[in-house]
Structure formats: C-alpha cells, structure tokens
Chain A
C-alpha cells in the first residue's frame, strides 16, 4: 500500500496523467492486452475448435454490408470462421509470441551483457564482438533464415505443431544483442560507483554483486527498450507468418490472418486482410507511442549503436 501511495505521488505518475498520448496509448494497449488474455471469454466463437465453423459460411462480408450476417460482426474468413473471434485469438497468439520472445531475448541479453560488462577484458571483447557481428546483420534476415532452417529440419508438419515455442526462440535469438549492449553499457556506468566498490570491499562474491547490486540499477534502460522490443517482436512474428515461416493458418496469428486474406483481396474480400491489419497496426503503434513516452520520461542513457 505504501509503495502504491509513493507511486501515485511520483513524477512518473504525474507526467503520465498529464500526457494524453501516454494515457491514450496505454489505455488502448491495456484494453487489447486484456482482451487477448481473456480471449476465450471475450470471443463469441472458439476458432480453435473446428466444429464451430462451417466452410459454407466462408467469405461472408461484415454484418453491416449487404450480404453480411448478424452472427458474424466483421464477416468470416476463407474457412468460414468468425473473423472477429479469429482476430481476438490471433491477437492472443501475437501477444504471446511478442512477450515470450522479448522475455527470452532479455534474459539472454542481460546475462551476456552483465557478464561482459562486469568481468571485462577478454570475456567482454569476445562477447561484444559476437553481438556486434550479429547486430550488423538485420534481425529479420536472421529470423527468416533461422525459421527456414528449422522448418527444413523439422519438416512442415512438425514445424507447425512447434511453431509457437520455436518462434519465441527464433525471434529471441535474432534480437538479443540489443539487450546485451544496453545492459553492458549501463553496467559499465554502475560498476565503478561507490556502492559496488563497497560491496566488493566487504567481500561479497562476484555473482552476488552482479545480480543483487548491479542488475537492479540497469533495469530502467531494459524496461525502456523492452516496450519497443515487444512491438518489434510482434512485427517480426507477423512478417514471418506472412512469409509462411510462422504460425500456421489453423492456429493463426495476426500475420498469418493477413497472409490468408491477402490472396482474396483481389476478388473483393478485403475485410479478411483489412481488419487484422488495422488491429496489428493499432496494437504496435500504441506500444511504440507508449515506449517513446517512457523513454522520454525515464530518459536512460541508451547505448547508441
């Protein structure tokens, strides 16, 4: 209760309340996030259950259009699934992969960055060289090639079953250098401060100093890049799925929905692509806007790469 009180009186909360962009983007984000978490409760149909949809309902336009039906608010997709429900489940998948991938890359990057920054010397230069080299190749290329190799290794059927955890790993692996660099930069900043010196003098061991003392102080930049990274990861996932290297159409993410609808745009069924597209853009946009605000308020010295 005390910390809630303190939070409410903080500068952070004050500027949050006063900034319409921050307030608006966070509200939309929070709303969509909740919708995706409670998808089974919110969505009118369970689109993972094949018995709930019928191919006869395929490609029905949104309900307000001439051929639309009351049952399907935003129309149906090519398999006859309610588009509205499919989108909610798709958002859920995208959020899941986005957050999962960011957690994965954050843990990997933080461990590498912390080790490199704290130990210094050879370890540091080796780890950072690796990060630099991977950084010089665009994450999307890394992710695409990695997915392609995985798909080849597992075969298409098995890959589709494992798509969710695999995508988390692939996107995580393609993006970790950003965390490693950020954490290392702030560790180097913290390392020579007096409290670390003091901890060393009283004889705490290295690992304890690293995790208990230095790590908490590097959390601000990590938090700031994490918001942007979630947006990035969601967009990466959408791109991979759009290329057919991500989520299968049976368990669609927003990206695979757009892919599925793309071929039907030309025959006039624009909604199958349009609505998931709008949802994807809205969701990533609010995360980016909120992340920008967060960066401006917390203003950590981000490592400029």
Chain B
C-alpha cells in the first residue's frame, strides 16, 4: 500500500536580489493514511514553509526548486494550477496559526464556509449550507445557524479556530496540515482545540501534519515526529523514541528545555546560541556551533539521516554514538515487545 503523502528531497528557495536563498534543503518524509506526524522546530527552521510547499502556496519570492511531493496518485509540484486548486482545500486542508487573522473580516462565516464547498462540490447553496452546519456541529459550535450569519469579529478566538477547523473539514479531506493551530490562543483553550483536532482525525479518517515549536504538544498527539533545524530534518522517528530517547543533540536540548523533563525545582536548561540565519548556515552540520559534542568532522561534512538503534528512528549526527541512553532505550524496546 502506498503512502498518503510522500515528500522526497523537497527543496525550497527564495529568490532574493543577491541570489537564491535555500529555505528547505532536501527534506523527505512520508505520511500514511490516518497517520499523524509532528513537524517540530524553532521559528525559521522551515516547518511552515514545508507545510505551504505541500499545497504549493509558498508566498513570493519563494519557490519549489527541487524534489517531489506525491499525494494520493498526484505529483503535486508538477500539477497544473487548476488541478492543484481542486486538491487544495479539498483533499488537503490547512489550518493557520492565528484565527484572528485567518477569517476574512468583511464576509460572514456562512459565506466563507459555503464558498469553500461550492469551490469543490457541484452542490446547491442550501446543500452547502447543510454541510457547513453539520461540520460546525462536529466542532461543537453552539447554535450553528446563528454563527453562519455572524462576522468573525463577533466571535472569540477559540470559537474562530473551531470555525477554521470546521472549514477544513468541509470537503472531507484526506490530509490536514495544521500550522501552529493553538499558538495564538489562550493557554486555557489550547488543550481543548488540540484534543478536538486529534479526535477529528480519528473519526473523519484524516491524516495530519501538525506543525509546531512545542514538543510537548506533538508528543501527546502524533505517532511520529520530525525535528527540523535550519531547513533540514535532523531527526525523525516514532514520538515515544523522540521524546524519551532522542539521539540528536539538538532534540536532546529541546527536550531538556521542556518543563517537566527534569526534576521539579531544578533549573530548565537551554540550548546555547541561536539558530543560524538562512543567509549564514554554517558548513558541515548546521548545529555544530551550538553543540556540546562537536568534533572537527562536524565542521566539515554534513551528516546524513542514518538509522539509529530503534526501528524507524533516524538521526543526522556524526556523534550519534555518544547520545545513546541505553537504559531508556531498553525499557522502551521491552515495552514494545510486551
């Protein structure tokens, strides 16, 4: 059985006055039907760009300069625009970060929902309205009929994000790309929205790519995680392994900076330094200037993603041998076998 989505060697560049800037440098990953994948990294690592690349909507001056994106039976970045449009918002939906900015302020919720249905289905307006109502109920919007007549500014942030999710569900997509869906929301409602999304993926048979900078969030929701750094995937594997026995020093740093990873009362650690600017990515391993384990080889050659001890777990690090935490690994493997 083929994957739902298969990204191979994707490369995205930005055409700037002084030359092209590489934002995504040959990343590959796959997603099966109904699978949830977390794409994690700091801002600027290229997570969002990857998300937009999949639906071929990178804002100018960015463009896809190489690689392939296979979705169902389509080669997405070779598709003519009209065909791509019929997939975008139909088979693949996207959820944006800030619900305050995502909905058009001068159109009613109803208009913004119905038009989406009409763009992809040969339905009458009243049929489209019924579909909209059904999806609003699915995301637990109270009195949905009333909402259809309202403008976005009349609703709260959490409500708006539910509506954005409802819009994403309208056409029963096979894949949802959620770009930081809870970051702009109040902490108190973040968990609820995430829970809703996760649960909907199960009930509606959707795959999801969850883009976030928050490792704690993804680990609870997704089966697999890919960690991005400076436009590359530096570690990928099942969520349990990534969280409990990360192998790349950067991932380890991310985990250690999470509250709760350490004993209560102890200080949180932070990764020294900053992620490099895209114009000045260090040679060799992009992470080496911030890495405690760096050796001369790290400055010279770029490490490839190599399998590490656990199944389907890959890391791109020359010093991967030094990061094995054998105890934890054994525990995990034992749990799996039981």
A and B touch in the complex (CB under 8 A): no
